[in-house]
């Protein structure tokens, strides 16, 4: 995400590049706090037996993670996966996932797991 996109998110409106530069100069503390805010980590788990509207593989999820790290937003397939998990799958916080794995929730070896920040 670039400066203009970040400032637009903070102000909840579209800004020009000049406005974003001025904001960065005058409101650096706000900008810094926004960029370094704590983010919640969630694990989305879905059975491999679920039907998807797109081709699915473990490598696909790896691409989602790399794309998110580079662009600060999710691909459409990642968003579709998250929505499907919200409908029929399992969603855990990082601590919840840790607890579920230790209590043996019964994840299958073919289940898809997507861990990301929200």
Q: Is the pTM of this model over 0.75?
A: no
Residue 92, pLDDT > 80, answer: yes
What per-residue confidence (pLDDT) applies to 58? Answer: 67
Any residues with CB less than 8 A from the CB of 99 and at least 6 apart, and which?
none
Residue 82, pLDDT > 80, answer: yes
| Distances from the Cα of 84 to the Cα of 8, 80, 97, angstroms | 29, 6, 18
Please tell me the distance from the alpha carbon of residue 61 to that of residue 29, in angstroms, as a whole number: 35
Strands in the chain per DSSP E: 41-46, 90-93, 112-117
Residue 118, pLDDT > 70, answer: yes
Question: pLDDT tens digits for 45-71?
Answer: 887 777 666 667 667 788 888 888 888
What per-residue confidence (pLDDT) applies to 25? Answer: 93
**Quick one: pLDDT band at residue 26, thresholds 50, 70, 90?**
very high
Paired strand residues for 90: 45
Tokens 């580079």 sit on residue:
70
């Amino acid at each position: 995400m670039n400066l203009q996109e970040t400032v637009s998110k903070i102000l909840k409106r579209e800004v020009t590049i000049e406005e974003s530069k001025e904001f960065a100069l005058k409101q650096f503390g706000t900008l810094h706090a926004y960029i370094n805010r704590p983010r919640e980590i969630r694990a989305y788990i879905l059975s491999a037996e679920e039907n998807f509207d797109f081709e699915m593989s473990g490598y696909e999820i790896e691409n989602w993670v790399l794309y998110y790290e580079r662009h600060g937003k999710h691909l459409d397939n990642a968003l579709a996966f998250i929505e499907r998990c919200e409908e029929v799958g399992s969603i855990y916080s990082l601590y919840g996932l840790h607890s579920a794995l230790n209590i043996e929730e019964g994840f299958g070896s073919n289940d898809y797991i997507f861990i990301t920040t929200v």
